[in-house]
Structure 1
Amino acid sequence: MSYSSSLLVLSAVTLATGQLLAPLPETFLNSSATWAWLSYDKLQFGTLPGAFNRSILDAPAAAEASDAGLTEVNAKLNSSDFVAYDERFFDIIGPNAKVEHVQQLDIRSHEAPCLVPGTDLLFFVEWGPREEGYGQHGWQYLLDVRKNVLQTVTTSPPTFNVHGCVTFNNSLYVVTDGSLNETGYLARIDPSNWKRTTLLNNYYEQPFGGFNDLAMDNEGNFYLTDSKSGWGKGVVPYTPPTSPATYFVNGTTMRPKMIQSTTGNANGVALSPDGRTLYLPNTGVSKYYPVRKDPYDDRGLWAYDFVSSKDGARLPVLANKRLLNNPITYFYDGIRVTHDGLIFASAGDGVDVIDPDTGLALGSIRVGGGRNVAVSLALGTYEFWIVGRGGVWHVSGLTHTLN
């Protein structure tokens, strides 16, 4: 193994794994899942021995290390289902939680997971560049999460290149990149008969570049992220007409208003439980033509507050932009918020749980590393599902109520 001169050399002393990873709480010692606790508070992780380095696109477990003890730590991290960075993570997950890879699918991007209301079905899609032979199909997946049976479903009319999904009043609401002959749109799908109704496909006759994800508030208004990912991955042939942006769409009139724009890229979107804060991860780190990652571009999770009118009503105007979190690994894609405000964000080889006040990552739920990538997730009550490159994962037995 070679190390560049830019590697930080701190010590020639080899430390044992037990000195770099904190001991697990007693109730977690016999957990059926594999745990690790990486803590700056407890032990000596603030000053690592030897030479070490990793890319921002890799998890800490993938770091190169000259010290035998640190190499052992990384092996432990890489074999773990759950990695705690904060003591609170143990209370959220609990000792009975487990991670199961329930559907091993091709190493392709799977997106837009939604639990179909009133059923045990998980809706999700297979998405990707047309030159690789997938993404351009008129069906979506349905997974029976109790029987672990996978099937496909086709809407009427067929829906292509769904990129995000939420549920509201027993319907699925999806956004798409569009397809080879149509630009991106927002649609409602009735899961009782799989009829699709297009709700919005333009901004005053300007096409959208290609929607990536969406959120809805309690009043039925929409928050749509319009990105360059569909064009950049070759899913659609037309150049985005404007910079990536976030749109507020009135759920009654369907009147759209741009509320945020970026020179990076728009991706996931989520609201705080009180509807007063909007969370937007920027994925400008992803570049196109050629497809590559630029570690110096934006990959932060940003928080915005809504401006209030004189009578206290929330306006579709954002203020107080602030960097809430920069991912430990990779960049944040799909994000969801629990009933009490915890942020679950898909990030490379797992899902980070983030404190909405401090922005600290409390821990990670891993999908196994390697070529597997967590892309998005759907929250249940004491369980949730992750979809991404490599298929579907079920995380169950949590202590904390999610919804």
Structure 2
Amino acid sequence: MIAGQVRYCNPSAWRENKNPAKVPIPRKSIKIPVSEVYCPVVRGIMARTIRTMFAKTAASLLVGLVGPVLGQLDALPSGFNPDRWAWVSNEDPLLAVIPGRFNRSVWEAPSAAEVSDPRVAAINEHINKTSFVAYDERFFDIIGLGATVEQLQVLPFQVHEASCYIPEQSLLFFVEWGPPGGQNGTHDWQYVLDVRTNNLTKIRTDPPTYNVHGCVYQNGKLHVVTDGGPNETAYLATIDPKTWERKTVLNNFYERPFMSFNDLELDREGNYYLSDSRSGWGRDLNPYSMPTLPTVYFVNGTTLRAKELAYLQGNANGISLSPDGGTLYLADTGASETKPSRRNNLGPRDLWAWDFAVSSSGRRLPLLGNRRLLSRAMQYFYDGVRVSRGGWVFGAGGEVVDVLDPESGWTLGSIRVGGGGNDPVNLAFGENETWIVGKGGVWHVKNIRERLDKAV
């Protein structure tokens, strides 16, 4: 008899209900055959232990460990592989009230917590071997049965950023950013990965481009922002991916240098939304910027007229728009401080949302209102932020890429890239796939059920 562990014991309920939330979830005790539920979930955790211990000891472990593991990790929907997936729910007692001692910092993943209870330790061990962790039924529908995560490139454990996918050429553009890489983090090359052959090369634009920090691909061009460099201020530019010719678009706000751009977004009309941060200035990547508050700028794509939209006391980082262009999302990563460079557990790790004002004639205005805290990351903070075609908010940071509900801010689930220092920093969408870049390399998540790339 297993109390409370009945979610999706009937696989047909999942297949037949278009809205999984409507599947009845009885909470009374029922009988579930061990062979149908226990073995798939705990196979990886228990196999070696059972093979090397006496039958009596193994049976004791099954009673002491397996039941609680299933008490926390809900039975997966039919067809989902427990070697790749975990489903975590606070409805289960072992997660809601953790026995013994437990602790973790805001910088660590939940499954990296220090725990004294061996059953919880076994749970975390299992989670740390998976690629997908669901906190909400909708995550299964978004990602789907066939999705997998593969590391394509193993690179140094330093920041890799500014990822852009160029579908016409099957190329992934990205950069190695900041100290201690290269010449103190400043170099005149960028990475290009041919995703068909997995061939990684370095390219140089004409003229050379230093310290690219953000990138969006739209209308046949790479739109990039930089931190500037020893001989240039931060700027907005376009790059032709066929010739690698670079054209500077804007490098000042009414003759005041920008501080050091972090990321950008474009709307369907070609207008820009730029996050200007302390990050590059804080690492002395350029000598021009006088410290100002981290700011979000709106730049008209036709006239190049710029306007300040919002500012933060922390630090402006990943930025994105809802599919209809009516909501702006911005990551505040002020918990990562500059001069001195350090982490502050009490600093901002927030993902904010604003709505754009609308004129009396129905025209969207470069004015923001209804600021609200959408989410604070379970671990670390969100660096890169991208919104999928369906409106889901993807936030990269720590060991994972989280997928968030754009209305409630609930974390629906996490995409893991293996831990061990592998930290996602940014991502680029294809149709039913995404590429993740960060500390440790490049990862490819393919066969995603929902289409991700934005409609332009």
Deviations 1:124-157 (A, max 9, x none): 0010126863531111111011110001111100
Indicate the residue corresponding to 1:60 in structure 2.
110
Indicate the residue corresponding to 1:24 in structure 2.
76
Give the counterpart letter for 1:263 in structure 2. Q
**How far apart are the structure 2 equivalents of 1:272 and 1:239?**
31
1:285 paired with 2:313, answer no
Give the counterpart letter for 1:60 in structure 2. P
Indicate the residue corresponding to 2:48 in structure 1.
none
Deviates more, 1:273-282 or 1:133-142: 133-142
Indicate the residue corresponding to 2:291 in structure 1.
241
Indicate the residue corresponding to 1:302 in structure 2.
352
**How far apart are the structure 1 equivalents of 2:154 and 2:287?**
30
Deviations 1:51-87 (A, max 9, x none): 1110110001110001111111111121111111111
Indicate the residue corresponding to 1:3 in structure 2.
none
SS at match of 2:160: strand
Counterparts of 1:147-226 in structure 2 under 5 Å?
147-226=197-276
1:127 paired with 2:173, answer no
SS at match of 1:72: helix
Deviations 1:197-242 (A, max 9, x none): 0000000100000100000000000000000100223333455431
1:314 paired with 2:364, answer yes
Q: Which runs of 5+ in 1 are unaligned?
A: 1-12
**How far apart are the structure 1 equivalents of 2:132 and 2:167?**
29
RMSD: 1.6
SS at match of 1:55: coil
Indicate the residue corresponding to 1:47 in structure 2.
97
TM (norm. structure 2) is 0.83
1:111 paired with 2:161, answer yes
Larger RCO of the pair (alpha carbons < 8 Å, separation 6+): 1
Q: Identify, as 1 or 2, the structure richer in strand.
A: 1
**How far apart are the structure 1 equivalents of 2:138 and 2:93?**
17
Q: Which runs of 5+ in 2 are unaligned?
A: 1-63
Q: Is the 8 A contact 1:271 1:337 kept in 2?
A: yes
Kindly name which structure, 1 or 2, has the bigger radius of gyration based on alpha carbons.
Answer: 2
Deviations 1:235-286 (A, max 9, x none): 3345543111000000001011000011100000000000000000100100
**How far apart are the structure 2 equivalents of 1:112 and 1:240?**
24
Deviation at 1:378, TM superposition (A): 0.1
Match of 1:355 among 396, 405, 415: 405
Q: Is the 8 A contact 2:167 2:430 kept in 1?
A: no
**How far apart are the structure 2 equivalents of 1:109 and 1:162?**
12
The sequence identity of aligned pairs, in percent, is 54
TM (norm. structure 1) is 0.93
Indicate the residue corresponding to 1:6 in structure 2.
none
Deviation at 1:48, TM superposition (A): 1.4
**How far apart are the structure 2 equivalents of 1:280 and 1:248?**
13
**How far apart are the structure 1 equivalents of 2:164 and 2:292?**
29
Give the counterpart letter for 2:279 in structure 1. S
Q: Is the 8 A contact 2:404 2:410 kept in 1?
A: yes
**How far apart are the structure 1 equivalents of 2:142 and 2:234?**
37
Deviations 1:158-213 (A, max 9, x none): 00000000012101100000011111000011112111000000001000001000
Indicate the residue corresponding to 1:7 in structure 2.
none
Deviates more, 1:78-87 or 1:209-218: 78-87
Q: Is the 8 A contact 2:433 2:446 kept in 1?
A: yes
**How far apart are the structure 2 equivalents of 1:315 and 1:110?**
34
**How far apart are the structure 1 equivalents of 2:383 and 2:291?**
22
The alignment covers a number of residue pairs equal to 389
**How far apart are the structure 2 equivalents of 1:130 and 1:161?**
13
Give the counterpart letter for 1:157 in structure 2. P
**How far apart are the structure 2 equivalents of 1:135 and 1:96?**
38
Give the counterpart letter for 2:77 in structure 1. P
Instruction: Provide closer, same or farther for how the CA distance between residues 239 and 184 of structure 1 changes in structure 2, counting only shifts above 3 A.
Output: closer
Indicate the residue corresponding to 2:34 in structure 1.
none
